[in-house]
Amino acid sequence: MRYFVTLSYDGAAYHGWQIQPNANSVQETLQNAFSTILRQNIEIVGAGRTDTGVNASKMIAHFDVCTPIDAIRLVKQLNRLLPQDIAIQHITPVVSDAHARFSALSRTYHYHILLSKSPFSRHYAYRYPLPLDFQLMNEAAQQLFNYTDFTSFSKLHTDTKTNNCKIRRAEWIQDDVNNWTFVIQADRFLRNMVRAIVGTLLDVGRGKLTIPQFCQVIESQNRCAAGSSVPPHALFLSDITYPDNIYINIEE
């Protein structure tokens, strides 16, 4: 049987989601916990690969077992065993061909900008001390809908077969006088894509790039033409959507 796991994590202590040699990862930490409790080797497959230091307020993963499990009990057991920076919210049965990564319809990320010093938000927002024109940044963000190839915002030398993505939402939202959030939704994302887009939009907001120049960056399909990637600690994977028909007896 296949199950979807809904979880969240603080990425500060991890070298990203994916298992890698000699580095602490979210995936490996989960697999060890699941395998210990279920007393069998469990492979955890995530909806995506968040980079080092990136957080997830909502990540979806799947795993397989031979017999049905008590999902509510397993959630409690896992949360007792897992470290404090990883939390399981739900475990839900799904159809056998449902896939956490390939069945996803969309993914949403939030990037948090802090305009003034805050001792409480510093771990989860990027303090940016220079003046920014967010109206201009939003005008530039709307240009993203006109493109599908985002090579300019992709980490180099990745194993992806295509750099095409369909962006469905991209906007800056003001949370309060000193806090802004960039919200972006797409069917898929390239490695480092959100952080590179935000970094380039900040260049627009500072007046270093015009909107036509921002478009030229995208059209160049050259990562060197885009702005610097912003720090990972302010980035959150915040939502992933799936077709309703993949769930079995879903509990609200």
Residues designated catalytic: 51
Sort strands 126-127 and 179-186 into parallel, antiparallel or unpaired.
unpaired
Alpha-carbon dihedral 234, 219, 227, 189, rounded to 10 degrees: 20
Please tell me the distance from the alpha carbon of residue 35 to that of residue 41, in angstroms, as a whole number.
Answer: 5
The DSSP annotation for 41-73 comes to: ----EES--PPTT-EEEEEEEEEE-SS---HHH
Tell me which amino acid residue 199 is: G
Please tell me the distance from the alpha carbon of residue 49 to that of residue 46, in angstroms, as a whole number.
Answer: 7
Sort strands 126-127 and 106-114 into parallel, antiparallel or unpaired.
parallel
The DSSP call for residue 124 is: T
